[in-house]
Amino acid sequence: MLDALPAGARLSAGVVDGRNVWATDPDRALDQLDRIVDRLGAGRLTIAPSCSLLHAPYRVSRETGIDEEVRSWLAFGEEKLDELALLHRALQADAAGRDQLLQESRARIASRRSSPRTNDHAVRSRAAAVTQADHDRPAPIADRLAAQRRRLGLPLLPTTTIGSYPQTTKIRNMRRRRRAGDIDAATYEDFLKSEIDDVVRIQEELDLDVLVHGEPERNDMVEYFGEQLEGFAFSAYGWVQSYGSRCVKPPILFGDVSRPEPMTVSWWEYAQSRTSRPMKGMLTGPVTILQWSFVRDDQPRQETCRQIGLAIQDEVVDLEAAGCAVIQVDEAALREGLPLRGEDQDDYVRWAVDCFRLTSAPARPDTQIHTHMCYSEFNEMIEHIARLDADVLSIEASRSGMELLEVFSGFDYPGEIGPGVYDIHAPRVPSVEEIEQLLRDAQRYLTVEQLWVNPDCGLKTRGWEETRAALRNLVEAARRRRVEIGQPVPA
């Protein structure tokens, strides 16, 4: 890189990571800076972050709710500026002066490297013991789908939703009151159960085939799980821009990941007890948890992702043991993690798909594994999508008029697919006729036996009035299509 620098040009060396939250290793940074000074001289060097600090939270010192040890490993925007100043001073100092300046920073880095929280022997041994065979389901997909059809007894074009139902003002207020200590745990649990009761009743009235519990207990699809997994911390003020005016507060994935106890089983059991229809278990996949967190930078991302995959696997096993026949493992961010450099993409997709497969590998053949992907422009990676080996894949397709499914017409996709038949990102309610036509369009690319009928994403941000109306039309469109293709419809 230095050889390519034009004569007399100044180099801005981004040695402080602007996209993550970890304290900079000063010796590693100074090793780079020393080599640059040797080649260019100090006069042609600017010490800088790797990018704008837009992606970093503001100040670590405000985060008194984060464990003191973990907090010492962090550097948010303000601390990164302090690091730049420290590196500048250290670069100008002699060896003794440098040692004195870096004493505190070195102690933080050493603490992080040696902590049992970043070196959990049980977690590391389990992850290291994973073999390629541990990513495989116990039967090929054709046999699994046959077993699932026998167990579930669903009609052609089965109807379902992606997971969440409207997060109303009432739900958000009750969550806020619980966090503030205004209501006790029992009161909050009773409230959540009443919300689940309502969601189950509404879905039965709409005559959906596979139900969900609506996720009233979940603040966020990643944060909810991170709060129950070892290896995560959460800031109170660590908001960063996601897109436009939307901000998010990513979990801080600082250590080795494990699942101390079941995270969703009791909620699934309660919801299933309220209906005789299949109730999905709803989980977030390892790649999405990885992508939507501030991830530790002291080991390869795929190692961290494998640990998360094993933790989610434990939840799949426990849901199945409780009787759950349909389990959805969402990988909304699978494609989002695709590296920009083409030469790095195959390796990423390989380990990302392996981590997803790891979550569901122990599931019995008659347990149906669903996954959902928000970013569905995957023409160039269709073989990798098939290698996920999910029984049912739900995707966003309504806005393309089902043309996105064209990739499946030239590819013998073995699983079933739920192409979203309406866009949940707008309040518009699609007509029955519109959904019928989309289902006909989908059959240009997929067989009717492969098709599920569902919205294109969760309904968390929508209101109940439009949700009911849209789902009522969705169910009626599926019913009409069944009649049209000759499947008997129960009276």
Q: How far apart are CA 435 and CA 428, in angstroms?
A: 13
Residues 6+ apart with CB under 8 A from 190: none
For 159-178, letters b (16+ CB in 10 Å) and e give bbbbbbbbbeeebeebbeeb
361's tokens: 């590998």
Name the nearest CA neighbour of 367 among 139, 128, 30, 42: 139
- Residue 9's alpha-carbon distances to 1, 3, 37, 47, 197, in angstroms, are 13, 11, 13, 14, 67
Task: For residue 208, give the nearest of 442, 471, 391 by alpha carbon.
Answer: 471
In this structure, the dihedral spanned by the alpha carbons of residues 93, 97, 98 and 102, taken in order and rounded to 10 degrees, is: -140
Residues 460, 164: Cα–Cα separation, whole Å: 5
Which of 55, 213, 370, 425 does the annotation list as catalytic? 425
Strands 252-258 and 230-233: antiparallel
How far apart CA 254 and CA 235 sit, in angstroms, is: 12
Give yes or no: 425 in active site: yes
Residues 6+ apart with CB under 8 A from 446: 405, 408, 413, 417, 419
Cite the active site residues.
425
